[in-house]
Chains A and B, each alone.
Chain A
């Protein structure tokens, strides 16, 4: 069966520090991968999505970047965190074209102090 792993679960980082959040998927090949951010417990904002290795699409301009070095690995990064980067970050996957809907990871709660 397919599973999605996201870590760490919580993270407290100082302003200006770098960030790396990792997401991996097991049990499937060539998934579509997504990074979402959720502020204040509601409202899911799509940040990045990827349809294949090295292919990254950005939805909103921001202080973050994403990379997909392997088929089932998706990384969210920042060189210098801002206070406004705090939030709940969710990774998700789907398999095109017949599978509808996403499967989400358990999320990372990021607090920038």
Chain B
């Protein structure tokens, strides 16, 4: 089946540092999404990207849809304690009427105060 390669798997940073994570795929996606999951909760959508090359920001978060449509990255600037959690990328496959998403394996972010 389709897979997304998300890296890094884990990050341990100091509060205030910037964070960068990315996803790559062997398949072309027509939509890329980034989710954040807090412990014991369902993932929450952070940013959605709809066009190749698109760069979108949401507060301190910035994400880009790769020009090849096979990759995406997420940056978090000036991290704060509430940024702790697991971040997932997801790609929507073209022509899928049920809008099935393929998820990366997640990046676990830990912040040292």
Contact = CB atoms under 8 A, between A and B. Distances in A.
Nearest to B90: A101
Contacts of A103: 45
The contact size tier of chain B is: 20 to 34
Interface in A65-113: 90, 92, 94, 96-97, 100-107, 109
Interface string A19-52: 0000000000000101000000111101001010
A41 B42 contact: no
B33 A109 contact: no
Interface of B: 31, 33, 39-45, 48, 50, 86, 88, 90, 92, 97-101, 103, 105-106, 108
Interface of A: 6, 32, 34, 41-44, 46, 49, 51, 57, 90, 92, 94, 96-97, 100-107, 109
